[in-house]
Amino acid sequence: MKDIQFPVFKTKIKGLDKKFDLINPESRKQYFEAKAGPEIQKIKDYLKTNSFIAYLLGKKSAGKGTYAKMFAEVIGSDAVSHLSVGDMIRNVDRELVDEELRKQLIAYLKTNYRGWISFDKILDSLENRSTKTLLPNELILTLVKREIERSERKAIFLDGFPRNLDQVSFSLFFRELVGYRDDPDVFILFDVPENVIDQRIKLRRVCPVCNTSRHLKTLPTSKIEYDKDKDEFYLICDNQDCPECGKVRLVGKEGDEFGIERIRERLDMDEEIIKRAFSLYGIPKILLRNSVPKEAALESFDDYEITPEYVYVWNKDKNEVEVEQKPWEVVDDNGVVSFSLLPPPVVVSLIKQLADII
């Protein structure tokens, strides 16, 4: 990200030569223990009697939810909750069509909503909302308060708030506004190159039958086909739980071919929010980056922590697709050639920085 210097952290440990499989849950557990065991224990001990609210601030499709869920995997889902404002609103949409749940929702809003906009207009904005229009800040706060009350005092990763510059100011006093607790809050700022976000969108693929989601560059299926006429490679769904799969080609979602250009306005707003949050006083900040300059990568990380890129080659002699693997090389927003990182090393950095704060 331009204008903010995100430091290059280091997870490589001298003398630790074991290569961990970061896809395998058991091996990943051993990896985190080896890389951040003392810090993990410190956070676990802290959460026995305390909690925190962490605001996840990063550009759309930056992977914020992935990092939060992996943190919960490491620390324990019984102590950590990932609250996505987007998911929360979609759940409210479902509540509104259920008569009993709708009554409960309206009763909660009548008791807890405070704001300048009348209650009838607030309810109308919720029932007839447009995906292009943000809901009033006061309504979002009330709905988030309800979710926090349901969280049983877990530590909370709040994803999707603040969403605009006005909400940044709200977030500074969020704990007092919801009247929940006095535990610390923290901004977690993510630096993900737009080049990476663009590739994530353009090359994601989904099965039209079972909705299995994969990625042509970084997360292929076990079966790949080549269309000679179109000179194009296809992932074949290998979901063993779906009897219709095995021959179905994964396809791109409508509009994905445009990449980040369809969300350019949103990305620009996200960057302004991150810059505003970075400049604020009085609240701790954790800085995370998912790519590092190429020349620093091998000194700071083990090779298995770098995102692999899968390249496909058609072997005419064998009449089959051959798959080659190499580190995923990207250009960051400052024009620096970098390697993309897998989520686990980024979460190691998150754990270590958070352990220093609490």
Q: Spell out the per-residue pLDDT of the chain, length 358, in tens.
A: 777 889 999 999 999 999 999 999 999 999 999 999 999 999 999 999 888 889 899 998 888 999 999 999 999 989 998 988 888 998 999 999 899 999 999 999 999 888 888 988 888 888 888 766 678 888 888 888 888 888 777 888 988 876 666 666 655 555 554 455 567 788 999 999 999 999 999 999 999 988 889 999 999 998 899 998 999 999 999 888 777 777 789 999 889 999 999 999 889 989 988 888 888 888 899 999 999 999 889 899 999 999 999 999 999 999 999 999 999 999 999 999 999 999 999 999 999 999 999 8
Helix (H, G, I), strand (E, B) or coil at 204: strand
Domain extent at residue 138 = 85-153
Res 36: pLDDT: 97
Give yes or no: residues 176 and 271 share one domain: yes
Res 132: pLDDT: 65
Give yes or no: residues 142 and 162 share one domain: no
Res 95: pLDDT: 92
Q: At 352, which CATH number?
A: 3.40.50
Last residue of a domain, one of 100, 132, 153: 153
Token couple for 317: 């002699």
Separation of alpha carbons 174 and 78, rounded Å: 23
> What predicted TM-score, i.e. pTM, was given to this entire model?
0.88
Give yes or no: residues 146 and 289 share one domain: no
Res 192: pLDDT: 93
Res 53: pLDDT: 86
Give yes or no: residues 205 and 147 share one domain: no
Our CA dihedral for 96, 97, 102, 105, rounded to 10 degrees, sits at -30
Give yes or no: residues 134 and 32 share one domain: no
Give yes or no: residues 303 and 209 share one domain: yes
Give yes or no: residues 40 and 142 share one domain: no
Q: Specify if 229 maps to a domain.
A: yes
Structural domain count, the chain:
2
Separation of alpha carbons 253 and 85, rounded Å: 23
Last residue of a domain, one of 129, 153, 177: 153
Q: Which amino acid is at 43?
A: I
Give yes or no: residues 142 and 158 share one domain: no
Q: Specify if 166 maps to a domain.
A: yes
Backbone dihedral region for residue 166 (phi beyond 0: left; psi -120 to 50: alpha; all else: beta):
alpha
Q: Give the single-character DSSP code of 99.
A: H
Residues 6+ apart with CB under 8 A from 260: 194, 197, 198, 201, 267
Give yes or no: residues 106 and 45 share one domain: no
Give yes or no: residues 300 and 215 share one domain: yes
Give yes or no: residues 205 and 275 share one domain: yes
